[in-house]
């Protein structure tokens, strides 16, 4: 384990835990996420969309938990990488085809999916994959101060990524 792995674990654990929680915290939230999948799943029934929504949220929760447990960290990071590849493909397709899908990745946003979401998902894919590579490599001794700095940096980046819609809106200029 090294500092890169610790940083990546912190980012992925926080982002995936928050994303799962925002969907699973109540019936209204998972139903809203299920409805947001309509543009991605075409003519799928509401039951199929709900099953997909629950699968996504539970997979996110599982990735978050696995990522923070030392003996399962690699599995969690690999699961996160696979999920992020899937999410990035869906979001990129939605942007390229002009689909009027909203991003309910972190709760009740009505923000239409756009290039900032592609950038965020690509960043998270790279972080998860980097963490996987670092977890598979032999590591040296970890100093407590280094662990704290890596963890705090990871949490900070996670908060920025989770609040990206708000940050983009804050700095958006009306032309």
pLDDT in tens, 11-23: 999 999 999 999 8
For 40, 84, 95, the CA distances from 89, given in Å and listed in that order, are 11, 8, 10
Q: Give the residue carrying structure tokens 């390229």.
A: 96
Establish how many alpha carbons lie within 13 A of residue 43's alpha carbon, considering only the half-sphere containing its beta carbon: 0
9-64, pLDDT tens digit by residue?
999 999 999 999 998 888 888 888 887 777 777 777 888 888 988 999 999 999 99
Residue 136's pLDDT is what? 75
Which residues are 102's β-sheet partners? 112
Angular region, 107: left φ>0, alpha ψ -120 to 50, beta rest: left
């Amino acid at each position: 384990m090294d500092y890169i792995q610790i940083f990546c674990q912190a980012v992925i654990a926080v982002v995936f835990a928050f994303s799962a929680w925002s969907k699973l915290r109540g019936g209204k939230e998972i139903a809203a996420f299920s409805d947001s999948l309509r543009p991605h799943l075409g003519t799928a029934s509401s039951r199929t969309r709900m099953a997909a929504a629950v699968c996504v949220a539970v997979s996110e929760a599982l990735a978050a938990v696995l990522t923070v447990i030392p003996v399962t960290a690699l599995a969690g990071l690999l699961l996160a990488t696979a999920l992020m590849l899937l999410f990035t493909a869906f979001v990129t397709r939605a942007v390229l085809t002009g689909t009027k899908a909203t991003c309910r990745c972190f709760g009740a946003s009505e923000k239409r999916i756009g290039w900032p979401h592609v950038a965020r998902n690509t960043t998270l894919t790279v972080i998860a994959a980097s963490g996987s590579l670092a977890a598979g490599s032999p590591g040296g001794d970890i100093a407590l101060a280094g662990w704290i700095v890596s963890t705090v940096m990871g949490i900070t980046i996670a908060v920025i990524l989770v609040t990206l819609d708000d940050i983009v809106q804050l700095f958006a200029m009306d032309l």
